[in-house]
Every structure is written in C-alpha cells, then in structure tokens.
C-alpha cells in the first residue's frame, strides 16, 4: 500500500495488484473485492466508475471488465471519499411515458446517462433522482439507479428506466432474452450492399486501443445488428440506415457499421469516410458533413412488454432536428427505397 499524491489532486491511498493465474478472467469488481475485504463491492464498483482504477496503465470504468493474467492493477482510494450516490439536479427531461413502475425518456444529444469519470454530475441519473426522488431501482448500483440500458452521450432517442427493483428485474430479463424491439436511424458514409442484412462479428476491446471497441476474430462477445437501407443520400455518398439490435454491446452499431466501411457521419471515435464517398460530395455539403457535431445516431423505436402489467408498449421518437436537416440537405436519391 503506497500513497499516490504525485498524480492525485487530493490525498489518496493506492492498492497495487498483479493478476495471478487463478484470478484471470474474473470481473474487475470481484477481483478487487476478493483482494480487499475492508472495502465493500458496491464501494469498489463506485470507485471503478469514478475512474479510480488503472489496469495496465489504462483507466478502466467498467466493473464488469475481465482481468487478464499478469496485468498490473492500481486502485486509488480517496482519503475523503466522493459521495457514492449522485445527487438530484433540476435538469429538463423529455418524458415520453411514465407510470408507477417505469419512465421512458427521449434523451437529448450531449447528455451522459450516469456519472462516471469526467462526468460526475449533470447526467440523466442526476435529473431522474430530482424527478423521481428515492423511488429509483437500486439494482443498477448506487451510481446507476434505475438504469437498465444506456445510450452514448451524443446518441439521441429512447431509453427506459426502472422505478423499482421488480420493474428493473423484469426489464433486465427482456434485454437478456432479447424479447423487445429496438430500432435506430443512422446517417452513414457510403451505401451498404446488400441493402438489407446482418452484422454478426463479435465485439470486444480493440487490441490496438483499449479505449475503443472493435470487431474481433477471436474473443469478444456475440453481437448481432440487423440493418436496412432506408434511402441513399447525396448520390450514394451517404445513406440513411435503420439498424435493429438483437444484442446490446458497447458502441455496437457504430463498430459494426465502421467495420463494414460505413462509419457514422460525425463519429469522433470510429468515423471517417472512404475517399470515394467524400469525393462525391459537393464542397458546400462536404463542409456541412465535416462539421456535424456528433455521431449521427438516433434511437427512434423502443417496444417491450410492461414488466409489471404485461401490456405491450411501443414508443417512437421523431428524427432530431440536426439529423433531419442533414438528410434534407443531402437530398434523397429516387432509388425506390422507402422514405423515413
């Protein structure tokens, strides 16, 4: 145990470990809980989510991260701990549906779903605590009350939150068994061919950049994305694509489309166009596309059976203004595909 004041703004104590063979493959939070009997697993989860753990020199914020043989792990524990539970903040929410069991939100671009390293407040969770009080389900952990699934910070659209543990367990089961409907709209580079199909490549951490996800030839987790071309844009330089998720891996749509050569417009991590696609754009449109401020991805449809009543629920969100403006500017090629 050593002090780490050289890299910390406040006094912290570091715990250092090396993963031995019997522990390889364990979840990070369980590995740390087994090693540190005096710190609860919930507290360790909170520390991980706050960016207090480095694995092999990289900050890891996912408690479910699987440790590997011989990895160096450093846990920094503040002497004066940050409050584990987020505080409620009065932040406007676009509420699509609400009852005693759950709430469906149409999330705006730029809103982080739950507190984590670099985003300790101003999140959807902070807004939900202010709106719902202490009724939110605790299954998701102190930092993620009520959260069953997530959308990336700059992805817009529909997200369901559980208000109590029974609803959370029921919704989690639907996601686990894939017994729900999720559809996204994406503006991508190029035109997928064939116009309808599936991406099934396993997704895991990129071996070249641990901050990114990638389609892996070995390892990773099963990922299944169905896609359909909605319409060609800008004479095929761009396209509007509907994606339907059967699994819910981190950055799944962004990774699958990028791996197929059709990265999302505006994606700061997986973006980039093929030169041929960019050359098809006239200079004015090319400038607009290059300045699009986020990945062009929108969760437009969410359908599921109510976890308490069993009622069939389905919600749709209109295309956000920034994506709609880009679609209209790019123009739609009259190729017989359906219109959005």
Active site residue ranges: 152
Burial tier of 93 (Cβ tally within 10 Å: 0-12, 13-18, 19+): middle
How far is 120 from 167, CA to CA, in rounded Å? 26
- Cα dihedral 213, 215, 220, 225 in deg (nearest 10): 100
35-62: b (≥16 Cβ within 10 Å) or e: ebeeeebbbbbbbbbbbbbbbeeebbbb
DSSP code of residue 177: H
Q: Do residues 34 and 71 touch, judged by C-beta distance below 8 A?
A: no
Q: How many CB atoms lie within 10 A of CB 182?
A: 20
Please provide residue 333's backbone torsions phi and psi, each rounded to the nearest 5 degrees: -75, 140
To 10 degrees, what angle do helices 41-49 and 28-35 make? 130
Q: Which is it for the CA torsion 320, 321, 324, 326, positive or negative?
A: negative
According to DSSP, the β-strands at 225-233 and 196-199 are: antiparallel
Q: Which helix (H) or strand (E) holds 241?
A: strand 238-245
The tokens for 308 are: 């308490």
According to DSSP, the β-strands at 72-78 and 12-18 are: antiparallel
How far is 5 from 3, CA to CA, in rounded Å? 6
Length of the chain measured in residues: 340
Q: Which residue has the tokens 């749709």?
A: 316
């Amino acid at each position: 145990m050593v002090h780490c004041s050289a890299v910390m703004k406040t006094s912290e104590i570091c715990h250092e470990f090396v993963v031995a063979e019997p522990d390889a493959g364990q979840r990070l939070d369980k590995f740390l809980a087994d090693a540190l009997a005096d710190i609860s697993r919930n507290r360790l989860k909170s520390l991980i989510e706050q960016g207090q753990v480095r694995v092999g020199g990289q900050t890891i914020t996912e408690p479910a991260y699987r440790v590997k043989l011989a990895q160096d792990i450093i846990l920094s524990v503040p002497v004066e701990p940050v409050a584990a539970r987020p505080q409620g903040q009065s932040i406007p929410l676009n509420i699509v549906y609400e009852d005693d069991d759950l709430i469906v939100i149409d999330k705006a671009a730029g809103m982080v779903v739950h507190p984590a390293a670099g985003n300790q407040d101003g999140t959807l969770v902070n807004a939900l605590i202010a709106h719902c009080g202490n009724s939110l389900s605790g299954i998701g952990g102190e930092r993620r009350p009520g959260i069953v699934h997530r959308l990336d910070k700059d992805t817009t659209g529909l997200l369901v939150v559980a208000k109590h543990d029974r609803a959370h367990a029921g919704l989690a089961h639907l996601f686990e068994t894939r017994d729900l409907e999720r559809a996204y709209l994406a503006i991508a580079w190029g035109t997928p061919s064939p116009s309808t199909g599936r991406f099934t490549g396993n997704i895991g951490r990129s071996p070249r950049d641990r901050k990114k996800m990638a389609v892996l030839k070995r390892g990773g987790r099963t990922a299944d994305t169905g896609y359909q071309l909605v319409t060609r844009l800008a004479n095929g330089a761009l396209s509007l694509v509907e994606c339907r998720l059967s699994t819910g891996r981190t950055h799944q749509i962004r990774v699958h489309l990028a791996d197929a050569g059709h990265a999302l417009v505006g994606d700061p991590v997986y973006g980039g166009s093929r030169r041929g696609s960019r050359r098809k754009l006239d200079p004015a449109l090319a400038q607009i596309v290059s300045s699009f401020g986020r990945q062009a991805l929108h969760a437009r449809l969410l359908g599921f059976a109510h976890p308490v009543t069993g009622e069939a629920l389905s919600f749709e969100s209109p295309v956000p203004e920034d994506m709609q403006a880009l679609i209209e500017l790019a123009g739609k090629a009259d190729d017989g595909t359906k219109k959005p």
